[in-house]
Amino acid sequence: MEIWDYRELVENLAWRDLTTRYRQTALGIGWAVIQPLLTMLVAAACFGRVMHASANGTAYPIFVFSGLLLWQYFSAAVTRASNSILVVGGLIKKVYFPRSIAPIASVIPPLADFAIAFVLMIALMIMYHIPFQTRMLLAPLFVVHAWMLAMGVGFWAAALHVKYRDICHIIPFFLQLAMFASPIFYATRTIPQELQWLYFINPLFGIIDGFRWSIVGTAAPSTPSVAVSLVVSLLLLISGAIYFRLREQDFADYV
Amino acid sequence: MSNISVKLSNISKAYHVRRKPHRAFLSGRLLGLFNSADSRHEDDRMWALRNLSFELEHGESVGFIGPNGAGKSTLLKILARITTPTSGSGFISGRVGSLLEVGSGFHPDLTGRENIFLNGSILGMTRREINAKLEQIIDFSGVEHQLEMPVKFYSTGQYTRLGFAVAAHLESEILIVDEVLSVGDAQFQTKCKDKMRSLTNEGRTILFVSHSSDMVIEICTKAIWLNNGQIVDISDPKSIVSKYERWANAEPSVAVSV
């Protein structure tokens, strides 16, 4: 595979983004923690009482934060991947490399933010006396799943974005809708019967519920929702990669 | 083993000039998804290259000359695999290194040293290759004292030198160079010319666009004159340059820079 030959470029581009984006910022890497932390605090202050029952015995801050963590990874990864080709537009017009390197590298730095925010998650877990459980070792699987879905959406969006600038309006809007349509601030079981179909069209249900189950111990997602989520993510990833490959040779003419 | 390093047959490249910006997202997508070539009208196209064919052998260095808009840069982009030809076929033997811009991917906040590794990997070098050549690259660039400084503090000349230094040490059989060397000072230009000559002596093929006739005569073993996306003439650099300059001087719309 050609992409394998260019693996060092993936590392270097990701590393370039990682090392440069917090330069000339006063708070530096603190930004990775502040965003989820403040969102969590605001959510806990606003919805904490109302949603208390929904969290089913789990402290609401921990409930929100666990969902928010993975959501923020997904959301940042999709945003960055969808812009990835235009961001390196100058390069694409001047140098050949497999174009898929750009979206692949673009979803790595958010993973670092995720890792940093996860340290805060661990601190919260200690604060709320959540003991270690072996199921916690499954958490990385759900992160990989989130990556798969983000990469699938990202490939589609990146390839379409080169030609159709509509994407830069669609993606933020799509993410906003997806955030409300995903079990971040509320538990899946609180969704009214007639809206259960959301379950089957939104692969984030299986991912977020699964992640939360593994680290916090809330209700496990149903097998069908995890299965649907996996199938949808895989289909998006495969079709996205194929569509991207079909389009990539023309990118230099449109960026 | 054949001695042919580059062979192009009937290469044409069309750009769509009147792209309809008002085309609705969905309908545009449905129309353009898999049949982007057929769904448009012929008159939307601007032909940057028309039926170009030529062959080069290993160790040849060829200079492309011609007025602006002749298709020189488009040709280099096709050779560098940055864009695909609309029709025609080509064959290139060996690794292609392209220098259509110096310092591709340089990040202003990274140091010179960090950018050597970044730029090298963008050009297709492995970390091991870069490490092996690091001293030569630094030496060639002449910026050893600024190496640990972010490149945003570099002068344009220093920036160019560092960029060229990396690309010149890429072990590629074919090197594609666009008009990028005009920025360095005279001393650095001489260094570049020497480097390019030594590369051809090692059997590498260089494809080179320049508006400087002197440079073409000095470096190239062959010159190709392009106009309107077509080859006007291929021959030795001296005779092509003199023919081209005679033609250009007679042509009021073309200004020749020597």
Closest residue of chain A to B80, computed from CA coordinates: A96
- Check if B95 contacts A (Cβ < 8 Å): no
The model's pLDDT over B15-70, given as tens digits with 9 standing for 90+, comes to 877 655 545 555 555 555 555 544 445 457 889 999 999 999 988 999 999 998 89
- Check if A4 contacts B (Cβ < 8 Å): no
- Check if B110 contacts A (Cβ < 8 Å): yes
Q: Nearest CA of chain A to the CA of B142: how many Å? A: 24
- Check if A28 contacts B (Cβ < 8 Å): no
Closest residue of chain B to A160, computed from CA coordinates: B29
Q: Nearest CA of chain A to the CA of B96: how many Å? A: 9
- Check if A24 contacts B (Cβ < 8 Å): yes
Taking an 8 Å cut-off on Cβ atoms, the answer to whether B83 and A163 are in contact is no
The H or E element that residue B14 is part of is strand B4-16
**Hey, what long-range contacts does A224-233 have (CB within 8 A, 24 or more apart)?**
A224/A200, A225/A188, A225/A199, A225/A200, A228/A199, A228/A200, A228/A203, A229/A145, A229/A149, A229/A203, A229/A204, A229/A205, A230/A145, A230/A203, A230/A206, A232/A149, A232/A203, A233/A145, A233/A148, A233/A149, A233/A152, A233/A203, A233/A207
pTM of the model: 0.86
DSSP codes, B31-84: HHSS-TTTSS-GGGEEEEEEEEEEEEETT-EEEEE--TTSSHHHHHHHHTTSS-
Q: Nearest CA of chain A to the CA of B145: how many Å? A: 22
Closest residue of chain B to A96, computed from CA coordinates: B82
Q: Nearest CA of chain B to the CA of A54: how many Å? A: 39
CA B33, A101, A76, A241 torsion-angle sign:
positive
Q: Nearest CA of chain B to the CA of A11: how many Å? A: 10
CB B235 within 8 A of CB B222: yes
Taking an 8 Å cut-off on Cβ atoms, the answer to whether B25 and A6 are in contact is no
- Check if A246 contacts B (Cβ < 8 Å): yes
Two structure tokens written together for B30: 């449905």
Taking an 8 Å cut-off on Cβ atoms, the answer to whether A19 and B110 are in contact is yes
The three-state (H, E, C) secondary structure of B201-258, written as one string: HCCCEEEEECCCHHHHHHHCCEEEEEECCEEEEEECHHHHHHHHHHHHHHCCCCCCCC
Q: Please list the pLDDT of chain A residue by residue as tens digits (255 residues).
A: 788 889 999 999 999 888 888 877 778 788 888 888 898 899 888 887 777 666 667 888 899 999 999 999 999 999 999 999 999 888 898 889 999 999 999 999 999 999 999 999 999 999 999 899 999 999 999 999 999 999 999 999 999 999 899 999 999 999 999 999 999 988 888 888 888 777 778 999 999 999 999 999 888 888 888 998 999 999 999 999 999 999 998 899 888
φ and ψ at A44, to 5 degrees?
A: -65, -40
pLDDT at A73: 96
Closest residue of chain A to B76, computed from CA coordinates: A94
Q: Nearest CA of chain B to the CA of A146: how many Å? A: 27
Looking at residue A137, the DSSP 8-state letter turns out to be G
Taking an 8 Å cut-off on Cβ atoms, the answer to whether A95 and B82 are in contact is yes
φ and ψ at A252, to 5 degrees?
A: -60, -25
CB A205 within 8 A of CB A213: no
pLDDT at B30: 58
- Three-state DSSP class for residue A108: coil
Taking an 8 Å cut-off on Cβ atoms, the answer to whether B109 and A20 are in contact is yes
Taking an 8 Å cut-off on Cβ atoms, the answer to whether A9 and B109 are in contact is no
Q: Which residues of A touch B81 (CB under 8 A)?
A: 96
Q: Nearest CA of chain B to the CA of A90: how many Å? A: 8
**What is the identity of the amino acid at A43?**
A
In chain B, the domains with their CATH numbers are 4-250 (3.40.50.300)
Among candidates B110, B122, B126 on the partner chain, residue whose Cβ is nearest the Cβ of A95: B122
Nearest to residue B66, comparing CAs of B224, B197, B182? B224
Neighbours of A181 (CB within 10 A): 15
Q: Which residues of A touch B105 (CB under 8 A)?
A: 13, 16, 88, 91, 95
- Which segments in chain B show pLDDT lower than 50? 22, 37-40, 42, 257-258
Q: Which residues pair with B52 in a beta bridge?
A: B11
The H or E element that residue B9 is part of is strand B4-16
Two structure tokens written together for B200: 């051809």
φ and ψ at B82, to 5 degrees?
A: -75, -35
